Amino acid sequence: MSSSTIRRTKQEKSHSSKAAQFSKGVAKAAGGTILTVTMLSSSVVAGGLVGLAISFRNLPDVRMLRNYAPNQTSYIYDIEGKLLDRLHGEANREVVKLDQVAPELKRAVLAIEDSDFYAHRGINPPSVGRAFLANFQEGEVVEGASTITMQLVKNLFLSPERAYSRKLAEAVLAIRVEQIFSKDQILEMYLNNVYWGHNNYGAETAAKSYFRKSASELNLAEAAMMAGIIQSPEYYSPFQNYEETKERQAIVLNRMEQLGWITAAEEAAALKQPLWVGEPTTWKDSKLPYVTEAVVAELEKRFGSDQVIGGGLRIQTTVDSELQQIAKETVEEAHRRLRRQGLDKSQMALVAVDPRTHFVKAMVGGTDYEESQFNRVTQALRQPGSSFKPFVYYTAFASGKFTPSSTIVDAPVRYRSGTAEGYYEPKNYSGEYAGKVSLRNALTNSRNVPAVKLGQKVGIENVIEVARTLGIESPLRPVVSLPLGARGVKPLEMAGAYATFANNGWYSKPTMIVRVTDSEGNVVLNNQPDPKLVLNQWAVASLNSVLQNVIQQGTGAAAQIGRPAAGKTGTTDSNRDVWFIGYVPQLATAVWIGNDNYEPLVAGATGGRYAAPVWRNFMKQALIEVPVQNFPSPKSFQPPKPD
């Protein structure tokens, strides 16, 4: 062997020896560091506990967790259970029991966050050293030093600031929590409170957002991914960074395998499994915004905003999504037609009510929700015009003094009033007078003078009482012109009132809500219909007979749908509001068209010309699978006796 070779060999041995010594030194240093950190942690915790013991009174009472009810997302559904909207504040959360969380997710979370959870009593000083070593070996944070109990109390009671005093407070509160609650109770609270990104709090909401399934249905691959997200939810989100998500998932699976909680084969299989992630569910727009906002407004009056937004309510509405879609498309198509006619600013409202239950089945509060969120069905007060006349005619029939065959003189008349002129002189829309006419003829052709005269004969106060009985709550004044719809009402009120005519006098308060339950399934509101007979049935049947004539041969001829239907047109002075409200025994629908600024539509605009075709187009589609049904005949009932 040459001298140069010998020297090179000695140098290599020397380098090898130094490398070995360096490795041993690193290991020794690491071990010493771990020991030092562990001892220091124990000392710090112990010393801190003594210090904090003096100020126990300043810490929260963890016993309040016995009655702790975190804010939960409320859900709104249609009549068939189709999800329409989620209601929540900052926290989008759905609370579940521990046994409703997949075992795979529980193991994955414990593996990466606190593998000694079931062994320690709230704090675990040795875990600090182990976490340091694990993170040092991986070159990144793969295991946390805080226990799950400490994380829980931090999230519930303490500020997020990184301070020595806060860490000691965590330790004290964690010990207290462990003294009062079982491990399973603590883990359940943790899994329902931990933040999982994209405004998802708790395992159930996160699972539905990331995988479109419940937390109970997660498999190992999905569970490992979710457990990995906890450390940095937005960064490890599969919606933001799928590759980083997979890498983090691999760390969780490896930790589970090291602990012996899964096999190497299970680890490998989970790593290969693709993750079919869903989409963020938070802050998504409502599918039926006019409906859901009206529902929220109704519930807030009853329960308050906090309970509705954060109470975890399950709200079943009365709305039929299929009918709602038909209504929406009908309004949009009608609005396009009006725009072609130069009515660019016009607005429209449509609401359909089931007369048998008075459930609102469809509601469109305007032509475009994005442009205007004002719900004209529930919020707008608009003059109903001649569509108010049926209340007058019903009052007359119910008095026992009039029948549809009774006559009245259609001729000029003048009444004293409080106007500047000092009198009120009603006029027919056509400007002509027919002389002596039957009440049937007068209503069929919507003559104004007979309606005003009839109102005086039966008493305006009595007409108002009938309107109130039928659910009209808007202000009504006993003025001579009231029979011509001189006071503003809401389209929903009119639809509900006409629905009572359709149901031959049986009334329930119109509602958009069938039932509300809390997160535990307890019923907190039950709106099952409780109809009451509020009208004289002979008088209603007589009115229905006349209102069928309105569609068959009167002002509502454009509303013919090929089956028995009744209804009434409405047109106000200066053509500011046009209406058609009509019904079959199974569905009552009101259509209103006008301008939000109360400007007139166009000259010659009437309810029969503009609103009736919209009603017809909606009803023909809505009733395709609904059997034809006749209204009861007046002969089926006994006429009332005059007072």
3-state secondary structure (DSSP) of residue 567: strand
Please name the residue that has the structure tokens 């929220």: 296
Q: 115, 127, 237, 386: which one is catalytic?
A: 386
- Looking at residue 311, the DSSP 8-state letter turns out to be B
Q: How far apart are CA 158 and CA 165, in angstroms?
A: 11
Quick one: CA torsion of 216, 219, 224, 227, rounded to 10 degrees? Answer: -10
Tokens encoding 463: 């007409």
Beta bridge partners of 515: 316, 526
Q: 94, 113, 143, 257: which one is catalytic?
A: 113
Q: How far apart are CA 360 and CA 495, in angstroms?
A: 9
Crossing angle of the two packed helices 537-553 and 389-398, in degrees rounded to 10? 140
Tally of CB atoms within 10 A around 630:
11
End-to-end CA distance of the chain: give it in Å, rounded.
138
Q: How far apart are CA 441 and CA 461, in angstroms?
A: 25
Listed in sequence order, the residues at least 6 apart from 585 whose beta carbon sits closer than 8 Å to its beta carbon are: 355, 356, 502, 503, 629, 630, 631
Asked if 441 and 404 count as a contact pair (C-beta separation under 8 A), the reply is no
With vertex at residue 147, the alpha carbon angle to CA 145 and CA 149, rounded to the nearest 5 degrees, is 155
With vertex at residue 336, the alpha carbon angle to CA 335 and CA 339, rounded to the nearest 5 degrees, is 85
> What counts of helices (H) and strands (E) characterise the chain?
20, 18
DSSP-derived pairing of the beta strands 577-584 and 566-571: antiparallel
Is residue 386 annotated as part of the catalytic site, yes or no? yes
Q: Which residues of 4-19 are buried (b: 16+ CB within 10 A; e: fewer)?
A: eeeeeeeeeeeeeeee
Asked if 196 and 245 count as a contact pair (C-beta separation under 8 A), the reply is no
Is residue 113 annotated as part of the catalytic site, yes or no? yes
3-state helix vs strand vs coil in the chain, percent to 5: 50, 15, 40
Listed in sequence order, the residues at least 6 apart from 267 whose beta carbon sits closer than 8 Å to its beta carbon are: 253, 254, 256, 257
E strand spans, 125-260:
200-201
Asked if 149 and 174 count as a contact pair (C-beta separation under 8 A), the reply is yes
Give CA 29 to chain center in angstroms.
59
DSSP-derived pairing of the beta strands 506-507 and 532-533: antiparallel
Where do runs of H (alpha helix) occur along 379-505?
Answer: 389-398, 439-444, 448-458, 460-469, 491-502
| Residues with catalytic function | 113, 386
